[in-house]
Chains A and B, each alone.
Chain A
């Protein structure tokens, strides 16, 4: 065994930064050249927005161990805040509105994070449901939030940064990609910092963390704030870059569950996991539905097809989780280790 271990360590393991850099180069350099509008509008934009929301929730749930069912509410808060900042403060650049919107979401996150000081686990999940219902109710009830628009549905403003219009599908994709890359990088730095280790300590054993001197209350609220900030910005991308319209109904409890499933399936306490999970949740059903429509579209109506896709998707998710309870990330790492090992033994 020792020899094998030695071999693995002796392998020319690439530096850690190389894969993300290559991936980003591909995403910036190659995809915009060849992508169709369908790829951007229907696959990559929702994928990016939900991945970012997954990164945000993973900080709170995966790293700090606080279960939240209010993610969609924080997305809604971010989207509506960015809309209002953009509308009401004319001199504010778009980036300014987005950052401020993140802070608004963070503030709401802190308020609804307060129960976490006394509640744990399922009880906390239920109390974050309050955020879900309250935010949606407030956005519907007070029409000021939607600029007194008769139906409460608002149009996202045009995207432009420093005079560059980003209205086309590629422009919005690059915008979303940039925001997601920056925030993901910051999140990655955060979880490997002292603060990140504090999160993990609280998750693993709160009493022990308190004893070694970690300020539990402050750290928990910080986790809520950072997580909500990121999810709020994800909401802005969802509304401004992807759908280009915002209505409170779009941020319902289903969306919160969707984000929670993304991190569970992708892998808790893993930044990459959010991207894996979002890929499965966003891309896979689309592939399945296109395949189903292509093969059986003439035989069954769209309702029957949709129902059977759900059954297939559900069964596959169960299968994934049985094979690898730690999520797609662990599955991926295992496959990679095996491949690396096989490569070396030849």
Chain B
């Protein structure tokens, strides 16, 4: 059995050599560990999102020479959206000095990282997704479900349907079917739809589509019998185009289907062909490449041959723009923290402070070249979501067109539910609720 010990010894020495060989970060570098996924079933989302993120970091480096002279660096570790690969990547990348924030874009990986990043004091960003109750910064000091958590998304969708019906009081007596993906992600919003149905007096029927969702005949026959006023599509991957095609087959009008934030990309509608025409979906960041920041990325990064997307027609697609918005939020958080702690490489805890003071009003968003790309964000030490606004876009067969104003979810209604859930978590884990003073105590080295 000495072979095994040889392997262990070899692994041990290899690990030590690699950790020694890693270059120490310069005093003027800030590092982003990217747990990306470019292969596997969710590669479409991974390449678009991480492509946009890297494009924006490149833009800052090339155009501005970094953030106040601090150069941004990153490396990628392939996760294939699998939890254990994400954990391995986390352990591999965390030895790199000067890590700013983690952005795994995977609920499963994010869950596995919460304890680890809290111990290491580096923020974890789950833009537009993640664990809803991590919005409560009193319990989750280092987790940031920026812009939109699943409950706010639900509230935004219901508010949009209300506006189409002519007001929130018109929801009374209406019928909504939620078609959800049979996974933890899909089920997360079941209680909140029930709650909103009770509050506004509409009836809701929630139907599960077993993973992966490439057969939905019986679900859509049920929907046809139920004759709902609207269908909310809470899908993922292949489930989305199949839902749209099956809806056409059973004769349900596509313009009465509203997609959620993971059913809103080009990759969801193009495979459905004509069946997707008229389909509407929620988003926090509009699609398209006309926004100044996207144009600058094309000019500065792609024209210099440094663009990350291989397929340039995906520039300005939903996932790519989400990556750009995520880049803006990360970079601006660093900028905020630098104003407080100095123009140098920041610690993870300092970046956390930056995120907790990340306030971009519409004027600031316009100055960043992102007017109408996303609305605004207002993060505080106890609200880690930051009151993101949502908008709705309709697919015309070729591109998404924005069809609504920026809509605010009903945060006041959701906050007590989030706090209750977070407090239960704190009790289970023996976590002491953080106060504003705790949030201002920052580890600076």
Contacts and interface: CB of A to CB of B under 8 A. Distances in A.
B404 interface: no
**A interface, by DSSP: helix, strand, loop or mixed?**
helix
Contacts of A46: 84, 88
B108 A249 contact: yes
Interface string B181-223: 0111101100100000000000000000010000000000000
B112 A245 contact: yes
B15 interface: yes
Interface residues of B, number: 54
**B interface, by DSSP: helix, strand, loop or mixed?**
helix
Nearest to A149: B184
Contact of A247 (B15, B184, B188, B191): B184
Interface string B107-129: 11001101100000000000000
A42 B89 CA distance: 8
A244 B107 contact: no
A23 B107 contact: no
B187 A151 contact: yes
A23 B115 CA distance: 32
B343 interface: no
Nearest to B112: A245
Contacts of A250: 83-84, 108
A31 B16 CA distance: 13
Given A150-B132, A153-B107, A38 B91 contact: yes
Contacts of B36: 302
A41 B108 contact: no
B234 to A, nearest CB: 13
B1 interface: yes
A297 B92 CA distance: 14
B174 interface: no
B365 to A, nearest CB: 30
Interface in A233-247: 242-245, 247
Contact of B77 (A43, A243, A287, A302): A302
A279 B7 contact: yes
Interface string B359-399: 00000000000000000000000000000000000000000
Interface of A: 19-20, 22-23, 26-27, 31, 34-39, 41-44, 46, 137, 140-141, 143, 150-153, 155, 242-245, 247-250, 272, 275-276, 279, 283, 286-287, 289-290, 293-294, 297, 301-307, 332
Given A26-B8, A42-B87, A150-B133, 18 more contacts: A20-B1, A22-B5, A23-B4, A31-B12, A41-B88, A46-B84, A150-B187, A152-B183, A242-B87, A243-B83, A243-B87, A245-B108, A247-B184, A249-B183, A286-B88, A302-B36, A303-B38, A303-B47
Interface of B: 1-5, 7-8, 11-12, 14-16, 18-19, 21, 36, 38-39, 43, 47, 75-78, 80, 83-84, 87-88, 91-92, 95, 107-108, 111-112, 114-115, 131-133, 182-185, 187-188, 191, 210, 308, 421, 425, 428-429
